[in-house]
Amino acid sequence: MTNAQIAAVLSKLGDLLEIQGANPFRVRAYRNAARTVEAETTPLERFAEEGRELTELSGIGKDMAQSIQELNETGKLSMLEEMFEIVPRTLLDLVHLPGVGPKKTKKLWEELGVTSVDELEKAANAGRVAELDGFGAKSQEKILTGIAEWRQHQERMPLGDADHQVEPLVAYLSELPQVERLEVAGSYRRRRETVGDIDLLAIATEPEPVMERFLAYPEVERVDMSGTTRGSVVLGSGLQVDLRIVPPESYGAALVYFTGSKEHNIKLRQRALQKGLRVSEYGVFESDPSEEKSAEEKADPKAGKRVAGATEEEVYKALDLDWVPPELREDRGEVDAAASHSLPRLIELGDLKGDLQMHSTWSDGKNSVEEMLEGCAARGYEYFALTDHSQSLAMTGGLDEKRLREQWKEIDEVAARHPEIRFLKSQEVDILADGTLDTDDEALKGLDIVLVSVHSRFELPEKEQTERILKAVCHPLVNILAHPTGRILGRRKPYPFDVDKVLRACKDHNVAVELNAHPERLDLKDTHLIRARELGIPVVISTDAHGVKELGLIRYGIEQARRAWLQPKHVLNTRPVDEVLKMLAK
DNA sequence: GCCGTTTTCGGCCCGACTGTTTTCAGTCG
């Protein structure tokens, strides 16, 4: 089983235990374990052969390790099967409805016999939900709205789409003179590939007019909550946006808090406790160690001496930590690294010296060869590779060997006119269903770089798909595996294949892997990139631009690379062209 | 269920808002 599948099972167990009213810390143990497993880049299946113990992972003890082993050996977990004898599987959907948690799920199940979202909807429409203790007319209404919404938006929004929603909203709020500072926090600031909602954070001398303007934003479809310092709305696009307004002395602490991740924050607070400090969105405070928690502290979150809060830097410093870049705040070891001053110098946009995947009008691009060159030169690149499609992608006007050679003539002419940038001949060569390449070896030898990728037969069984890609990676002329998993965010899942096996083959055959920067691809994703880095495989960050305008999408690739802790040395196209070609040479 | 610079038991992150309450549990982030 893949780590993601194991994590899903453990997380489901946590949900089930919670509905059954189990010890909340036991529930948390399953959630923690699920998170650890999901973030682990080495497949757990390979631990044994690498001589490693599962229990060396934090949050994985004896019981958890045994369950994971059972999952890996049998593909099932007897404990889970037994629990499904008692608790209906479909009940788990209820917990994820807005306004419904484990306690209410349990009540709905036990007292109304509701076992699925459909049944809950019926019960709510019949007015039976409102009659329960602890529920009322409003809860019932909220549940019905929640169900409708749950059906509509089960998926998170790709970061690129969120950018289009967020930028105008930020501009709209910033017009208000009372807004001294405004920033988007949350997973958006961490530059996760998708966002669930948007967390806005503002400093304002007077919070009321800011909240008022926020609620009056023309795109707002519904107001979910509105207090003096917190408000929550849903936009017409279905995107939920939360606004928090904080005073200047708390801004840094609030920014840390609302940037998250939740797990990163928990790490920070645990560390604070060890130092006799208390961290909240209001700041870092000294706790009185003589009393476990005074009544005063409970009543007032700002009690005690404030030692930090205005800036993020001072909050981290109060905990003896270096400032952590938002992209790293996922509890993947960044807190320890910040404590030992060993955070990496992450790659930045300015480190890139070239872009190694793009298309022109020769296949499905919108701009000519020369326009693409000028676009790259304008970005200050030292080199770029033009990678039009190969012949089997007929719908894109893919090039056969004859047209490829004709293209080279134009490339040579254009390149001769533009000594300011090095023009690399390349092609995005299709990996055919049997793993052979769409362009013959003779033509491939005329290219500076050979890029290969899958564009068809996504539905092949995992074993065949893996062998198909392995065959291409092992081809002696192949240099880069482009968008390796083939996913399109929100539209197409990755085709099923053994990613780890392919990565190890890339290592063995000196093939670089692409980080496709297009915001709807972002392929490889962060966790796979971490694995690639650990294996020592060079990464190439490219736009796959189909026009000059799309060359700017490279920033999404940089952001994703930063989430994988990539430094300039890990990324091939931060190097001068001679070094790139030398490193790719077989 | 996990964990250990308070180490094999007794802890395990923090606060706002809502709805249904009449003092607070549940949910959310």
Indicate if the pLDDT at residue A23 is higher than 90: no
Q: Among all protein residues, pick the one whose CA is nearest to the C1' atom of B6.
A: A274
Concatenate the DSSP letters of all residues of A414-429 into one string.
HHHH-TTSEEEEEEEE
- The predicted pLDDT at position A21 comes to 83
Range of the domain at A324: 250-339
For residues A407 and A529, membership in a common domain is answered with yes
Which nt has its C1' nearest the CA of A30? B1
What is the CA A186 to C1' B18 distance in angstroms? 23
Q: Per the domain annotation, does A420 fall within a domain?
A: yes
Which nt has its C1' nearest the CA of A36? B2
For residues A416 and A495, membership in a common domain is answered with yes
- The predicted pLDDT at position A536 comes to 96
For residues A174 and A299, membership in a common domain is answered with no
CATH of residue A59's domain is 1.10.150.110
- The predicted pLDDT at position A93 comes to 86
Which nt has its C1' nearest the CA of A245? B16
| pLDDT more than 90, % of chain A | 58
For residues A448 and A562, membership in a common domain is answered with yes
For residues A397 and A446, membership in a common domain is answered with yes
What is the CA A163 to C1' B20 distance in angstroms? 39
Q: Per the domain annotation, does A136 fall within a domain?
A: yes
- The predicted pLDDT at position A413 comes to 97
- The predicted pLDDT at position A293 comes to 44
**Is residue A179 within 8 Å of A220, Cβ to Cβ?**
no
Q: Per the domain annotation, does A548 fall within a domain?
A: yes
- The predicted pLDDT at position A228 comes to 83
Q: Per the domain annotation, does A344 fall within a domain?
A: no
Rounded to whole angstroms, the Cα distance separating A558 from A531 reads 17
CATH of residue A255's domain is 3.30.210.10
What would the pLDDT profile of A327-339 be if each residue is shown by its tens digit?
Answer: 999 988 899 999 9
Q: Per the domain annotation, does A124 fall within a domain?
A: yes
**Which of chain B's bases lie under 7 Å from a protein CB?**
1-3, 6, 11-21, 25-29
What is the CA A514 to C1' B13 distance in angstroms? 39
Rounded to whole angstroms, the Cα distance separating A91 from A118 reads 10
Strands A512-516 and A539-542: parallel
For residues A422 and A291, membership in a common domain is answered with no
For residues A366 and A478, membership in a common domain is answered with yes
For chain A, the average pLDDT equals: 90
Q: Per the domain annotation, does A564 fall within a domain?
A: yes
A222: confidence class by pLDDT, cuts 50, 70, 90: confident
Of A442, A429, A375, the C-alpha closest to A399 is: A429
A88: which residues sit within 8 A by CB, 6+ positions away?
A109, A115, A116
What is the CA A323 to C1' B24 distance in angstroms? 39
What would the pLDDT profile of A291-310 be if each residue is shown by its tens digit?
Answer: 444 444 445 666 678 888 89
Which nt has its C1' nearest the CA of A26? B1
Which nt has its C1' nearest the CA of A134? B20
For residues A137 and A195, membership in a common domain is answered with no
CATH of residue A457's domain is 3.20.20.140
Which of these ranges, A112-121, A187-196, A292-301, has the smallest mean pLDDT? A292-301
Using the 3D structure, point to which of A286, A314, A339 is the last residue of a domain: A339
Rounded to whole angstroms, the Cα distance separating A27 from A25 reads 5
Using the 3D structure, point to which of A246, A264, A297 is the last residue of a domain: A246
A482: which residues sit within 8 A by CB, 6+ positions away?
A357, A387, A428, A451, A452, A453, A514, A516, A542, A544
Q: Per the domain annotation, does A261 fall within a domain?
A: yes
- The predicted pLDDT at position A149 comes to 76
For residues A321 and A380, membership in a common domain is answered with no
Using the 3D structure, point to which of A246, A278, A297 is the last residue of a domain: A246
- How far is residue A537 from each of residues A500, A507, A513, A556, A570, measured CA to CA in Å? 12, 6, 7, 20, 8
Indicate if the pLDDT at residue A188 is higher than 90: yes
- The predicted pLDDT at position A546 comes to 93
CATH of residue A210's domain is 3.30.460.10
**Is residue A62 within 8 Å of A54, Cβ to Cβ?**
no
* Mean pLDDT of the region A402-411: 95
* Sheet containing A449-453, strands listed edge to edge, beginning at the edge strand earlier in sequence: A354-355, A383-386, A422-430, A449-453, A480-481, A512-516, A539-542
Supply the pTM of this predicted model.
0.84
What is the CA A484 to C1' B24 distance in angstroms? 52
Looking at the DSSP bridge assignments, the partners of residue A399 are: A390
What is the CA A439 to C1' B2 distance in angstroms? 55
Estimate to the nearest angstrom the gap between the alpha carbon of A347 and the chain centroid: 17
For residues A461 and A563, membership in a common domain is answered with yes
- The predicted pLDDT at position A541 comes to 98
More confident residue, A214 or A302: A214
Q: Per the domain annotation, does A554 fall within a domain?
A: yes
Which of these ranges, A31-35, A189-193, A288-292, A403-407, has the smallest mean pLDDT? A288-292
For residues A69 and A134, membership in a common domain is answered with yes
Number of domains in chain A: 4
For residues A64 and A42, membership in a common domain is answered with yes
* Mean pLDDT of the region A331-355: 94
- The predicted pLDDT at position A5 comes to 85
A466: confidence class by pLDDT, cuts 50, 70, 90: very high
